[in-house]
């Protein structure tokens, strides 16, 4: 059984991610996305915070660290990746704007095919004094976004529109089942043998990188919250932007560091980041939402 899981770990992760997005689609309608693109302020602010401000925070954080150049570049690669299905899930659990969350994931996922090669080379040049021929697999990346995000969400919306009773039955079950399965799969990935596609991590590496992963996570959430506050965006959208900026797509970071740059050491920050930041994002964002609702009277109306 374990051999089967090890040999098919990446496929299983993507399958569960697709099911999570489908479950989120059970809560959405076309009107939700129409509102986002008719009022693009939240989308614009979120993209700016994700693609400009967070990489700057990550670069500054690595300047004061004593990690090897490979690990430093690995952390910066995390900050260059968009949010993923896990950030969409956290937004849903916190009753954020799921349509905005998915829109940020899709738009940034497409833009990152151009931004990641450029900015990753800047990091390589600075920390290694070298550059590398980085080219994102455009067709595969678009296909991955479609299969894991766009199509499952559309299918969930279809079920909600045509079979509302089935949607009502599935929602409470999938809400708890799929995150549990996803975390189980990620832990198998973390502790799998290297020959089975795992990444060997020592306890000292988990602890040292874990601290910086949490700092990067919290920095991203603060940047997202403060930036959206400056533009007077509603609390519901603030929470969504905060989660999207704070919680990133570690699967893409692993692809860039491992498959493209072929540096296992660069993959370690992404795996440690995945171990800690789902729960820290959920907790920190929930605390800020509760405090904002209590003391500022914003109960999450959309922009």
Q: Chain-centre distance of CA 25, in angstroms?
A: 17
Residue 302 is predicted with a pLDDT of: 45
For 156-195, how does the pLDDT look when each residue is reduced to its tens digit (9 = 90+)?
889 988 888 888 888 778 777 777 776 776 666 666 665 5
Out of 108-112, 122-126, 209-213, 255-259, least confident range: 255-259
Instruction: Measure the CA–CA gap between 214 and 135, rounded to whole angstroms.
Output: 29
User: Measuring CA to CA, which residue among 214, 210, 211, 221 is closest to residue 53?
Assistant: 221
- Decide which of 2.70.70.10, 1.20.1530.20, 3.30.428.10, 1.10.10.10 is the CATH code for 2-296: 1.20.1530.20
Residue 269, both tokens = 């920050």
pLDDT in tens, 212-271: 999 999 999 999 999 998 998 988 899 999 999 999 878 778 777 876 777 878 888 988
What percent of the chain has a predicted confidence (pLDDT) above 70?
A: 82
- Predicted TM-score of the model (pTM): 0.78
Task: Decide if pLDDT at 197 tops 70.
Answer: no
| Residue 92 pLDDT level (bands cut at 50, 70, 90) | confident
In the chain, where are the structural domains located?
A: 2-296
Task: Give how far the C-alpha of residue 204 lies from the chain's centroid of Cα atoms, to the nearest Å.
Answer: 25
**pLDDT: which is higher, 34 or 133:** 34
Look at 281 and 142; give whichever has higher pLDDT: 281
pLDDT the model gives residue 247: 92
Average pLDDT for the chain: 81
How sure is the predictor about 2, in pLDDT bands with cuts at 50, 70 and 90?
low
Cβ 227 vs Cβ 101: under 8 Å? no
- Angle, helices 30-38 vs 98-128, to 10°: value is 60
- Give 37-78 pLDDT, tens digit per residue: 788 889 999 999 999 999 999 999 999 999 999 999 999 999
**Where on the phi/psi map is residue 103: left (φ > 0), alpha (ψ -120 to 50), or beta?**
alpha
> Is pLDDT of 23 > 70?
yes
């Amino acid at each position: 059984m374990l051999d089967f899981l090890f040999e098919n770990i990446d496929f299983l992760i993507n399958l569960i991610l697709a099911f999570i997005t489908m479950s989120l689609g059970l809560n959405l309608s076309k009107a939700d996305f129409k509102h986002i693109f008719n009022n693009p302020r939240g989308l614009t602010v979120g993209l700016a915070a994700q693609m400009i401000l967070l990489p700057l925070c990550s670069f500054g954080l690595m300047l004061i660290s004593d990690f090897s150049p490979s690990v430093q570049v690995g952390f910066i690669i995390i900050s260059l990746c968009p949010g993923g299905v896990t950030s969409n899930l956290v937004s849903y659990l916190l009753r954020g704007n799921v349509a905005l969350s998915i829109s940020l994931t899709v738009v940034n996922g497409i833009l990152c095919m151009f931004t990641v090669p450029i900015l990753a080379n800047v990091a390589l040049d600075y920390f290694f004094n070298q550059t590398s021929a980085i080219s994102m697999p455009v067709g595969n990346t678009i296909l991955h976004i479609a299969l894991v995000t766009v199509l499952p969400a559309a299918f969930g919306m279809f079920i909600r529109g045509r079979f509302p009773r089935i949607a009502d039955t599935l929602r409470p079950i999938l809400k708890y089942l799929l995150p549990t399965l996803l975390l189980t799969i990620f832990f198998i990935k973390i502790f799998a043998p290297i020959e089975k596609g795992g990444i060997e991590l020592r306890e000292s590496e988990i602890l040292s990188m874990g601290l910086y992963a949490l700092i990067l996570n919290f920095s991203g959430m603060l940047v997202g919250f403060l930036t959206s506050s400056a533009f007077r965006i509603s609390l519901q959208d603030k929470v969504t932007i905060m989660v999207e900026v704070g919680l990133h797509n570690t699967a893409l970071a692993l692809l860039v560091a491992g498959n493209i740059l072929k540096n296992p050491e660069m993959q370690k920050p992404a795996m440690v980041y995945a171990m800690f930041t789902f729960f820290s994002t959920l907790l920190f964002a929930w605390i800020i939402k509760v405090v904002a609702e209590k003391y500022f009277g914003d109960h999450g109306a959309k922009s």
